[in-house]
Amino acid sequence: MTTYNLRALPAALIVALAAIGLPAMAQTSATTTTTTTATTPAMPATTPMTSQPTLTERAKETGKEAVDATERGAKKAYTATKNGAERAADATESGTKKAYRKTKKVGGEAVAATERGAKKAYGATKTGAKKVGDATANVAHKTADGMRTAGNKIGEKIPGTEQNEAAKAAGKQ
């Protein structure tokens, strides 16, 4: 259950970023067109006035970077999960083999050896699963922090948002 929730988290973050980015792009396009036609009526609306990227282009680029970061995070989480599962399986297999050999070799000690092997396998599986869960959670948290940072940077450029007001107060714009 925990694994399912952690796998759905990057997808939910992508959807949230898209929900922030699309209205921002639409608002920026309308503002840019209005400003261009109002300040230079003799100039066609399609010619850029400066060589700097527009807010829309910067928002798209930031969105792409956030998606790339999410993909990298998901790949890291997948690899960590895969490696942890393989280690747990190897530990379980090793414990089982040891228990089998003990049972076959000594009849009187068989029960004790089986219990020890089972305990070792259980402990190794539990430890591996915990490490995999921690690695996945760390990757998800870092990805979410990156997405929030990207969203705040986009918000600084959009008039009327809290981030924009904060940026004005700090003297960034």
The 10s digit of each residue's pLDDT in 145-171 is 888 888 888 888 888 888 888 888 887
User: Using 50, 70 and 90 to split pLDDT, how confident is the model at 1?
Assistant: very low
Residues in CB range of 96: below 8 A, 6 or more apart: 117, 121
Percentage with pLDDT > 90 across the chain: 0
Q: What is the pLDDT of residue 37?
A: 46
pLDDT of residue 46: 55
* 81: confidence class by pLDDT, cuts 50, 70, 90: confident
- For residues 94-112, average pLDDT: 72
Measured CA distances, 57 to 21, 41, 49, 136, 172 (Å): 11, 24, 15, 32, 20
pTM of the model: 0.30
Query: pLDDT higher for 32 or 62?
Result: 62
Distance CA 144, CA 141 (A): 5
Mean pLDDT, residues 67-78:
83
| Residue-level pLDDT at 29 | 56
Residue 69 has what pLDDT? Answer: 82
Q: What is the mean pLDDT of the chain?
A: 75
Q: Do residues 172 and 156 lie in contact, with contact meaning Cβ atoms separated by under 8 Å? A: yes
